[in-house]
Structure 1
Amino acid sequence: MEAAPKPFHARLVLGVATLFLSAFFLILPALSARAAVAIQEVKSDKGVTAWLVEDYTVPIVAVRFAFDGGSTQDPPGKEGLANLMTGLFDEGAGDLDSDAFQTSLDDAGAEMSFNETRDAVYGSMRMLAERKDKAFDLLRLAVQHPRFDKAPIDRIRAQIVAGIVSGERDPDTVAARKWAEAIYGGHPYSRSGQGTKESVASLTAEDLHALHKALFARGGLHVAVVGAIDAATLKRKLDEVFGDLPAEPALQAVPDAELKLGQRLEVNYDRPQTSLQLAWPGVPRDAPEFYAAALMNEILGGGTFTSRLFKEVRDKRGLAYSISSGLMNSEHSSSLVIGTATRSDRAAETLAVIRDVVKGMAGQGPTEEELAAAKAYTVGAYAINNLDSSASIASTLVELQIEGLGIDYMQRRAGYIDAVTLDEVKAVARKLLSVDPAVMVVGPPLPDGSKG
């Protein structure tokens, strides 16, 4: 599981917020209809590559990018370093201190934000096309010359520590930390991206500059741009923003994680609702059986009202308001996770029903009718889930780059899904779901001998 969300430091643009909102929604239909067939690859003179979707419906440009290496690159004892760093990129860069930088963002009609995951550091910017020169120059300063001044460091650090302290009193936050430690053992994925009170207190400006230098490089950079900008202009801007970065990052090697399944973790709290989480092996994104696993997951509990888990747990028995399953893919691990919450006095019953539904899928697999419906939904929902705004299109394009799926993936995707056979889905269900899962119960202790 990911660490708890970090503070979000995007700045709303004074005087243009209404324009941004109206532009945001006006751009959706045109982009969603043609993004899959209008992606250009733009390569700058210094070798920076971006995927571009041109659209001049409204004068907005959305930029999304990612650098390989996220919180897994935090040095031991310095957990939370990447998280702190991403909170500081709009807190001063180049010759501009925090106040001056944020005023310049407002003057440029731009929004900027950064965040980290386990495996990458992400950045985003939205800007008015007519002020793009100023906006891109500010992005250049943030990417290449962050200041990491003491006052902003102390302020953002205090916000993060306050979040950590608050999380120590939250059962679900405590459970997420214990779950990660139990599932991943000593792997970097077991560490909190926020860090600890002690580790965050130890972070210095020198630590931040060192991590920035190690991660921010042209190698391992993924960029997508959507909106009112042409390829020739973007080519120049790519070199301005990213062209002077080092050629390659200095990343510490991270091994693949070996999930510690077959265990039951109880995080006991006296409360009326119990949360349940179960984890089985997953399928790497580049594995041949990935699409079969994705369809199997959709049938099992992939978030639709027709899934087996939803029917058995909610519709038939009223045990939970919602229940879902999902394939969780990171760079170094894959899992299939089921999660729900139910009345504590019915938690054991709910857990038993989940195990029975999974057992049925592992033993018999889906029907032809279930598979056909899952294929239709999976193909049709892609645009709604991934192409519903300029920002989501840019984000989707960056993820396609990270996953190495190719610029024409959207055209090929339906074919991959349609090609999956019933036997392939049954085989992957049997392979994944026959394994004894890890189970976490957050709430009152379950009765002895309960099926978990």
Structure 2
Amino acid sequence: MTERSPLRYGLLGLALLLLIGALVWLAQRAPQTAAPTTSAPAGAPRLESLAGINGKPAHRALDIQSWRTAEGAKVLFVEARQLPMFDLRLTFAAGSSQDGGTPGLALLTNAMLNEGVPGKDTTAIAEGFEGLGAQFGNGAYRDMALASLRSLSDPDKREPALQLFRQVVGQPTFPEDALVRIKNQLLAGFELQKQNPGKLASLELNRQLFGQHPYAHPSDGDAQSIPGITRAQLAAFHAKAYAAGNAVIALVGDLSRAEAEALAAQVSAALPAGPALAKPAQPEAPKPGQKHIEYPSAQTHLMLAQLGIARDDPDYAALYLGNQILGGGGFGTRLMEEVREKRGLTYGIYSTFTPMQVRGPFMINLQTRADYSAGALELVQKLVRDFLAQGPSQEELDKAKREVAGSFPLSTASNADIVGQLGAIGFYDLPLNHLELFLQQVQALTVEQVRTAMARHIDPDGFVIVSAGPTVAQQPLPPPTGAAKQPVTAVPEH
């Protein structure tokens, strides 16, 4: 140690004491100091305390602006200056319901978008986005197909990212080697599905529920359809289904209205020219019944379904709230309380409406011990019947309303959340104030309105039922208890 070390440590100690003293002084003074009024730009969102919102859940108010491009694409835009970035999502009516007689065509087309463009292969495309700090995303489902971009809003990063994005969505080359690779991945996935009783039951349920309707076949195709799909088919599907008139452009982020209009115009012009595709026809109600898939396992998968509603159905809010009480809200729902908590028959049981362009499914799903499967199915059917006859209690309704209101801010918590909401609003042609309107409708619902809506759309005798598991002798169900029971199996199968 040098002779100057004690002096140095002494000075450091004095400095530390002075710093602590200053922090204490600032902490005591802060509550008495008015917040500066020029620290945030006009119109910027303010943080609010719990006391300041008077017990009402705060949520992000959205100023949604909408217009159409010259090519016919619908645009929805929310300006959000908090972060120096933007999110762009294209939603096309290009899901598997548009496959025609070629299951898997929509999925393969979407999966191949970023596999090649003129002058660039999939590696160059990935490196191009990565080098700009941008993210590309895509996906295909039953109704829709998506392509998305997240990028910094600085023009030096934004413009090259958008240029590459426009090539990917507007000029995919569908290289043969990539097509072979993705086909092989899908075919390997089909083999794995044979070892998943839940997936087998789900595929069969859709076939039984939708019959000859386009929703019946799996979105990723099957082992018979995938091998024969050609590059020419992909190009033709892209030209038709990825047309500007068939697109919704959702934009959220650090952009002015003028910048958003210019960006949307460039993206729209890069897409093939063409109109919106027609919705699928309404599916016909299936004949109720039960089908069993024999599978060697300790548990049986049980799936019950019937046709539900389209996304624009006026009863959407009432059915959403009713289903939250019946089985869509996790723990505390009727189905979870009676099937899991009181009897320990399952790790989880869930019900859900899946509204689509036309009537989608209402479904109940659970796994239970194989020798309890018949009793569990009977119990579920009874619980549904009782709920439709009696409706929820006022206590259940009030609790569900609080949960919906409390979780509602999460629907717009981030720019990614907002761009997803905009895409759905545009795709399903919902009013621009849909989010506010939905929350108002939910809070105004009565017990009788919920009961009536659920009874109008669910037939307790109308379920298509599919089970997957072993055929074994059945046991009577254990009696219900007032306390929660442990589920009867150790590990759930997935």
Equivalent position to 1:410, from 435, 438, 459: 435
Task: Report percent identity of matched pairs.
Answer: 29
Aligned residue for 1:217?
243
Aligned residue for 2:113?
89
Query: Structure 1 residues 412 and 436, CA, compared in 2 at 3 Å: closer, same or farther?
Result: closer
Distance in 2 separating the partners of 1:42 and 1:187: 33
Aligned residue for 1:100?
124
Unaligned runs of 5+ in 2: 1-44, 48-56, 478-494
Distance in 2 separating the partners of 1:401 and 1:263: 37
Letter in 2 for 1:404: D
Aligned residue for 1:11?
none
Partner deviation per Cα, 1:372-430 (whole Å, 9 max, x = no partner) = 2222222332222x223322221111111222222122222222123323222222233
Query: Structure 1 residues 311 and 448, CA, compared in 2 at 3 Å: closer, same or farther?
Result: closer
Aligned to 2:61, the other structure's residue is in SS state helix
Aligned residue for 1:193?
219
Q: Is the 8 A contact 1:281 1:435 kept in 2?
A: no
Q: Is the 8 A contact 1:272 1:344 kept in 2?
A: yes
Letter in 2 for 1:38: D
Q: Is the 8 A contact 1:283 1:293 kept in 2?
A: no
Q: Is the 8 A contact 1:62 1:391 kept in 2?
A: yes
5 Å-filtered alignment, 1:45-444, equals 48-76=73-101, 78-130=102-154, 131-249=157-275, 251=277, 254-384=280-410, 386-431=411-456, 432-444=458-470
Partner deviation per Cα, 1:38-62 (whole Å, 9 max, x = no partner) = 3333554555442222223332221
Distance in 2 separating the partners of 1:216 and 1:185: 27
Q: Is the 8 A contact 2:279 2:357 kept in 1?
A: no
Aligned residue for 1:7?
none
Partner deviation per Cα, 1:274-295 (whole Å, 9 max, x = no partner) = 1111113423333332222222
Letter in 1 for 2:360: S
Partner deviation per Cα, 1:89-135 (whole Å, 9 max, x = no partner) = 11111332323222222222211121111111111111122311011
Query: Structure 1 residues 358 and 34, CA, compared in 2 at 3 Å: closer, same or farther?
Result: closer
Number of equivalenced pairs: 421
Distance in 2 separating the partners of 1:95 and 1:313: 58
**What TM-score comes out, normalization by structure 1 length?**
0.86
Q: Is the 8 A contact 1:70 1:118 kept in 2?
A: yes
Distance in 2 separating the partners of 1:89 and 1:424: 46
Question: Root-mean-square deviation (CA), in Å?
Answer: 2.5
Distance in 1 separating the partners of 2:212 and 2:72: 37
Q: Is the 8 A contact 1:348 1:447 kept in 2?
A: no
Q: CA deviation at 1:146?
A: 0.6
Query: Structure 1 residues 105 and 328, CA, compared in 2 at 3 Å: closer, same or farther?
Result: same
Query: Structure 1 residues 29 and 163, CA, compared in 2 at 3 Å: closer, same or farther?
Result: farther
Letter in 1 for 2:109: M
Aligned residue for 1:15?
none
Distance in 2 separating the partners of 1:33 and 1:48: 33
Aligned to 1:90, the other structure's residue is in SS state helix
Q: Is the 8 A contact 1:73 1:252 kept in 2?
A: no
Aligned residue for 2:63?
38
Query: Structure 1 residues 29 and 153, CA, compared in 2 at 3 Å: closer, same or farther?
Result: farther
Q: CA deviation at 1:303?
A: 2.4
Q: Is the 8 A contact 1:274 1:443 kept in 2?
A: yes
Aligned to 1:381, the other structure's residue is in SS state helix
Q: CA deviation at 1:244?
A: 4.5
Aligned to 1:243, the other structure's residue is in SS state helix
Greater alpha carbon shift after TM alignment, 374-383 vs 214-223:
374-383
Aligned to 2:151, the other structure's residue is in SS state strand
Partner deviation per Cα, 1:131-158 (whole Å, 9 max, x = no partner) = 1101111111011111111121112222
Aligned to 2:368, the other structure's residue is in SS state strand
Q: CA deviation at 1:327?
A: 0.8
Unaligned runs of 5+ in 1: 1-27
Query: Structure 1 residues 182 and 59, CA, compared in 2 at 3 Å: closer, same or farther?
Result: same
Query: Structure 1 residues 397 and 304, CA, compared in 2 at 3 Å: closer, same or farther?
Result: same
**What TM-score comes out, normalization by structure 2 length?**
0.79
Q: Is the 8 A contact 1:43 1:235 kept in 2?
A: no
Query: Structure 1 residues 281 and 92, CA, compared in 2 at 3 Å: closer, same or farther?
Result: closer
Aligned to 2:76, the other structure's residue is in SS state strand
